[in-house]
Structure 1
């Protein structure tokens, strides 16, 4: 039956499995057609793996051995001449030219794979031959990542990237060789997303040219860490795209970063301001009266702006906001959300211990609220869990279905409290499955038994995590 499916139909079906690598791997064993389609999808972004998972070294070894087997004969001879011998999956010819399926290339991931697997003084040669193969074989590249590191012992040479004419996403450092960036600006004009990390003491002269030459730029990320370098040097080039950019992300750990230019980006839909190390940026004061009529997502994961500036900003721009994330404990700010953000869907702010009425007001006034993350800690500073659970059951609207509880203390909620909460949720109309997520919480066995009971009854879906995945989604 499988072989009777038209190729176009089978291709469409397997495309839907792109995020399900386990199922795609099983498709490799059906027949050659299924195998070819599955391989093409799996190798599209072969370097996308979790480097922190237990089997990461095994994954890296497997990728490297396949890449070595895929090298052209002249590269293999060069490695052998330098007495570099790396085992390959098979002694026979490979079934496919795997590299030509790749659409995503990360220079830094290749460096990492070679260094972690080989761990010898000849990594430079292996790395360069693999990169050369990628660049020569990929005819149409979608995403390219290249962060130049002055301190790396790997000397990488990339004169040009022929497949970059179709590039839509670029992640790079500000200190890449100007010759490389100028060359890229000549062939690559349709970037939709650019992410720049300011590294070293110099900013490449080709960076402005590359940014200016784009026609469809929508997403821009600027990061300044470790070095006191301002991104002001590229702001004139960035401003050229003020009408097309809809997603702006700014990261840093110094206080001399200009923000007033952001007011020109009137079509922003998503904005992230992330400045840590206790940085308080007065420059945000210039943005508090700006109007962003299309802004739907605002995330400020650090206490970097004065609350009064954020309050004024929300008064002007809170109407269409759907996601708001801010690590700030301020009563006036919480009240502002209840009053000026009626369409909020997802929310994370920090409540004081006497602000349960404000939480009730948010549930009452924000009728579309679907998810909220509540931070618990010192019982003299934060809300108590029991009163939060009662408030969720009695005041949340029909769209609400996800409660995240973050705590650095042991639970102060009894099994009886949980039982009452779950019964109250079960009796709500309309009935809806509650997604309950614990972050950094270690519940006692009695509470876990009650939670498991109501999960088995289909009332809730429960997870317990050490960290919140959404903290990483801040950067997407």
Structure 2
């Protein structure tokens, strides 16, 4: 493999982009592997100290004049010009890492002094990155009040092919204005508003309106007034394939979606609201047909959702609902035959319903269910999973209800694995536990010994325990 040409090895390493540990190991094999893999490893800045050492002499002198003395800063040039490999730039990530470095050296100084130093170093880094990065793909700027990014002349080349932008709405106006002059092909746009914000800055409106190829729009905390102004700004709404409205905690009407009969290419729709009153006008949305909708995620199970699934369920491949009821689960079984991935819950009196759902969804690959409290316990969920799911199903995710504790005896866990092993056309199992704060089955020593045993036997392909977070999916 070490004799493979650069292009072949590079294509192999591309598959490791998200596996940072393995990619780092590739750096250490030999010089040739290092030369190939370093370009991928450094797409997302892994080490600020190294990047600081890449600063040009002029920037280093500026830091010295500003009395910023960084212990890791040396006159020795790094092996590679690392800045040229960067494709992702997060202002927040750079700022946080600089804070960790500088506060160790300037811990005796006050916070104002420290933040001023951080800003000085950050400006020099951003200036270098804009000059060195040939084509930035992703930019994250979730506002810090003391960061004011200055666009240099080289920014035009660096940002002209920007495809993903994540930002707050209250970033200073010149930031949006400069981007609107350079970036016209953003495909992924994530905007975070503040809770009581009802106006959109004019320069942000301008930036949205000039996008030629926007495919994914994500809005966090947007109120009714904001949404009704943003959507009409879309230059080519037919290009939109993903729409995500998340964490909106104040009154918002969904009627604006019904105005867009030309959202014919929408493939993913996520509506994550916190209160029932936020679902005003969903009764209008229930009649809208999205012919290409494949993924639908919604926080609350309102009564109008059943009609929506009757109209759009046939093409769905993934459906997630955090709050549900028996009628909705039966609707899923009847109108969503092509579901591959499902997140729902079954009350502890709904064993017949989970049987109907698992029997009906013959293409189902992964199911995530609530566990404990008013929902099925672990034993009931696992038994139904192994008895009634089709041959394509290989993953079960048990999501514990807040502070509910695991009550699964080791003998019942062993029985589940034995039954899974004896299944016809058995696939290796993925078992994922999501817990809030209480103990789950992984905290039981006997259960973990059983799990390790079936991992060694190849019955379990993946076992993972995750912490519950605010994301309902």
Instruction: Report the TM-score when normalising by structure 2.
Output: 0.87
Q: Alpha-carbon deviation of 1:66?
A: 1.4
The residue that corresponds to 1:124 in the other structure is: 119
The residue that corresponds to 2:183 in the other structure is: 188
The alignment partner of 1:404 has SS state of strand
The alignment partner of 1:18 has SS state of coil
Q: Alpha-carbon deviation of 1:101?
A: 1.4
Distance 1:353 1:461 in 2: 29
Cα deviation per residue 1:248-305 (whole Å; 9 max; x = unaligned)?
11123333323223232222111111112565321222201100111111112x33x5
Cα deviation per residue 1:120-165 (whole Å; 9 max; x = unaligned)?
242221111111111122121111112234xx33444346732111
Q: Contact (CA 8 Å) 1:269, 1:294: kept in 2 or not?
A: yes
The alignment partner of 1:122 has SS state of helix
Q: Contact (CA 8 Å) 2:371, 2:377: kept in 1 or not?
A: yes
Distance 2:15 2:411 in 1: 44
The alignment partner of 2:72 has SS state of coil
Gaps of 5+ in 2: 104-113
The alignment partner of 1:271 has SS state of strand
Q: 1:345 and 2:344 equivalent? A: no
Alignment of 1:54-93 (within 5 A): 63-88=47-72, 91-93=75-77
Distance 2:427 2:8 in 1: 36
The residue that corresponds to 1:386 in the other structure is: 379
Alignment of 1:191-202 (within 5 A): 191-199=186-194, 201=197
Q: Contact (CA 8 Å) 1:44, 1:102: kept in 2 or not?
A: yes
The alignment partner of 2:304 has SS state of helix
Cα deviation per residue 1:451-474 (whole Å; 9 max; x = unaligned)?
3333333223452414269x7695
The residue that corresponds to 1:26 in the other structure is: 25
Distance 1:450 1:344 in 2: 31
Distance 1:446 1:148 in 2: 48
Q: 1:207 and 2:191 equivalent? A: no
Q: Alpha-carbon deviation of 1:203?
A: 2.5
Distance 2:321 2:291 in 1: 20
Pairing partner for 1:289 from 287, 290, 295:
287
The alignment partner of 1:74 has SS state of helix
Cα deviation per residue 1:312-367 (whole Å; 9 max; x = unaligned)?
11111110111111111311111111111111111111211211111001111111
Q: Alpha-carbon deviation of 1:14?
A: 2.9
Q: 1:372 and 2:356 equivalent? A: no
Q: Contact (CA 8 Å) 1:251, 1:273: kept in 2 or not?
A: yes
Q: 1:232 and 2:228 equivalent? A: yes
Gaps of 5+ in 1: 48-62
Alignment of 1:102-181 (within 5 A): 102-119=86-103, 120=114, 121-149=116-144, 152-158=145-151, 161-162=155-156, 163-181=158-176
The residue that corresponds to 1:457 in the other structure is: 457
Q: Mark the CA change 1:25 to 1:89 in structure 2 (over 3 Å): closer, same or farther.
A: farther
Instruction: Report the TM-score when normalising by structure 1.
Output: 0.87
Distance 2:84 2:228 in 1: 39
Distance 1:220 1:184 in 2: 17
Distance 1:273 1:320 in 2: 18
Q: Contact (CA 8 Å) 1:177, 1:204: kept in 2 or not?
A: no
Distance 2:275 2:285 in 1: 22
Q: Mark the CA change 1:92 to 1:159 in structure 2 (over 3 Å): closer, same or farther.
A: closer
Distance 2:43 2:227 in 1: 33
The residue that corresponds to 1:333 in the other structure is: 328
Q: Contact (CA 8 Å) 1:353, 1:383: kept in 2 or not?
A: yes
RMSD: 2.5
Cα deviation per residue 1:395-439 (whole Å; 9 max; x = unaligned)?
111111111122243333333323332222222111222222222
- Please say which of residues 113-122 and 131-140 is displaced more in the overlay: 113-122
Q: Alpha-carbon deviation of 1:89?
A: 6.7
The alignment partner of 1:334 has SS state of helix
User: Aligned pairs, how many?
Assistant: 448
Q: Alpha-carbon deviation of 1:5?
A: 3.5
The residue that corresponds to 2:9 in the other structure is: 10
